[in-house]
Amino acid sequence: MSQATNQSWGGRFSEPTDAFVARFTASVTFDQRLARQDIQGSIAHATMLSRVGVLTGEERDAIINGLTEIQGEIERGEFNWSVPLEDVHMNIEARLTDKIGITGKKLHTGRSRNDQVATDIRLFMRDEIDVIEVELKRLREGMIELADREADTIMPGFTHLQTAQPVTFGHHLLAWQEMLARDHERLLDCRKRVNVLPLGAAALAGTTYPIDRHVTAELLGFDRPAENSLDAVSDRDFAIEFTSFASILMMHLSRMSEELVLWTSAQFDFIDLPDRFCTGSSIMPQKKNPDVPELVRGKTGRVYGHLMGLLTLMKSQPLAYNKDNQEDKEPLFDAVDTVRDCLKAFADMVPAIEPKKDSMYEAARRGFSTATDLADYLVRKGVAFRDAHEIVGQSVAYGLKTQKDLSEMSLEELQQFSSIIEQDVFDVLTLEGSVAARNHIGGTAPNQVRAAAQRAREALSLLQGQA
């Protein structure tokens, strides 16, 4: 048995909590991470209680000064965390009472640990979203600049991982950027629903004290107080929404990682990653492994797991607060850490990618990537598209037999499949001609890629202004 029953709630209990149960139900080993937000919320709560006359000015000042000193102890690593005190909230409150006496026990007036922890998590998530948003913005900026620089760099575009049509490396990078732009919007939209104040809902029904929740919301920078006390203490939609954002973002980073891993292989040889983002083999001296993208690809699964875990956690909970909700923090904390670190790694790595332009160009020459251009050429000459498709198919079959790309065939060779083909066909069969012909918004023409990069910069700047 533990030595004593927790004095914050143990008045009606006749025996101490079992020592194992005390450890099993405690959360302080992981929720101490919320200490800064817990102190921030308590300072605002004490300030509000003073304004409405529940605390005197002296009591408020003693509480705030004590909490500030405790924050210093925590930051210096001098704070003694106690498992029997269960969680971050009771550890801080007990230390406050040790420091300032009975006044410390008045801090909890008009609130419960239910609305307190809900507030702490929202404050924590708001802070972390802001950090993640900075890293996401940094990644997008680096990606846009690299795309602009590589607007003319030709590479093969793929469908089914087979050579399809030539594109530019800049165009491909801007496709990645579009994924991240949607993620960015989702993150900022999620933040709006995080930024709602639960404090004042107390355990589940509100409080009889004359609190002013609008004051507390203003002090803590929340947009508004939560409308319903039952929902305020039991809602974890914002956590699920964040992990949903995180899962989609990680899916995008994983897709990018897969391409980076392929492109660094000897079989593709499209790019080089700086050594600082790679590792070697303990047995094969020649190896340079793309560990950063591989690890990001691997970490995607754990974030998916956290989303499913939180959905399952909440799926059968009756109103209002239940002890189940203690299990929200560890998956949420890990999702936050994983997303932040993966974004940081990508934001550092992507601008340092070095394209191997000759390898990309040579790969685009293989696989008859300008076949569609030849078909379009014939259509413009008056051939029905299905007939043009057949003519080009025959030309490709001939190229496979002779090991010649379409652009390497003579005019006479091409004319054996259609007499309509003339010398001007070679203007469209070159890789440069093919990409330049896609000269419309969203196309891969180099001037369109540069214009798209500029629009992306402007959109990113505008999105920042709305944050």
CATH number of the domain that residue 48 is part of: 1.10.275.10
Q: Whole-angstrom Cα distance, residue 252 to residue 183? A: 9
Q: Is there a single domain that holds both residue 189 and residue 337?
A: yes
Domain count, the chain: 3
Domain CATH code at residue 338: 1.20.200.10
Any domain includes 463: no
Any domain includes 462: no
**pLDDT greater than 50 at residue 1:** no
**Between these two residues, 467 and 182, which has the higher pLDDT value?**
182
pLDDT tens, position by position, 378-427: 999 999 999 999 999 999 999 999 999 998 999 999 999 999 999 999 98
| Percentage of the chain lying above the pLDDT 70 cut | 96
Give the pLDDT score at 239: 98
pTM: 0.92
Q: Among residues 109, 127, 151, which one ends one of the domains?
A: 109
Phi, psi for residue 268 in degrees, rounded to 5:
-100, -55
Q: Is there a single domain that holds both residue 105 and residue 118?
A: no
Give the pLDDT score at 464: 67
Q: Kindly name the residue from 82, 265, 281, 461 that is annotated as catalytic.
A: 281
Domain CATH code at residue 405: 1.10.40.30
pLDDT tens, position by position, 210-257: 999 999 999 999 999 999 999 999 999 999 999 999 999 999 999 999
pLDDT tens, position by position, 18-53: 788 878 888 999 999 999 999 999 999 999 999 999
Give the pLDDT score at 465: 55
Any domain includes 375: yes
Annotated active-site residue 171? The verdict is no
Q: Is there a single domain that holds both residue 389 and residue 287?
A: no
Phi-psi region of 86 (alpha: psi -120 to 50; beta: other; left: phi over 0): left
Any domain includes 452: no
Any domain includes 170: yes
Any domain includes 215: no
ω into 456 cis (within 30 of 0)? no
Give the pLDDT score at 334: 98
Give the pLDDT band of residue 463 (cuts 50, 70, 90): confident
Q: Whole-angstrom Cα distance, residue 304 to residue 309? A: 9
Q: Is there a single domain that holds both residue 403 and residue 291?
A: no
Q: Whole-angstrom Cα distance, residue 233 to residue 201? A: 7
| Percentage of the chain lying above the pLDDT 90 cut | 89
Give the pLDDT band of residue 466 (cuts 50, 70, 90): low
Any domain includes 355: yes
Q: Is there a single domain that holds both residue 312 and residue 401?
A: no
pLDDT tens, position by position, 267-302: 999 999 999 998 887 888 788 999 999 999 999 999
Give the pLDDT score at 21: 83
Q: Kindly name the residue from 45, 108, 112, 160 that is annotated as catalytic.
A: 160
Mean pLDDT, rounded, of the chain: 94
Mean pLDDT throughout 132-137?
A: 98
Annotated active-site residue 160? The verdict is yes
Q: Among residues 109, 144, 177, which one ends one of the domains?
A: 109
Any domain includes 440: no
**pLDDT greater than 80 at residue 460:** yes
Give the pLDDT score at 422: 95
Q: Among residues 330, 362, 394, which one ends one of the domains?
A: 362
Q: Is there a single domain that holds both residue 278 and residue 164?
A: yes
Q: Report angle CA 166, 248, 348 to the nearest 5 degrees.
A: 70
Q: Is there a single domain that holds both residue 31 and residue 67?
A: yes
Range of the domain at 78: 17-109
Give the pLDDT band of residue 123 (cuts 50, 70, 90): very high
Q: Is there a single domain that holds both residue 274 and residue 306?
A: yes
Q: Is there a single domain that holds both residue 87 and residue 119?
A: no
**pLDDT greater than 70 at residue 13:** no
**pLDDT greater than 80 at residue 12:** no
Mean pLDDT throughout 141-170?
A: 97
Q: Is there a single domain that holds both residue 119 and residue 203?
A: yes
Q: Is there a single domain that holds both residue 154 and residue 50?
A: no
Q: Is there a single domain that holds both residue 276 and residue 381?
A: no
Give the pLDDT score at 8: 63
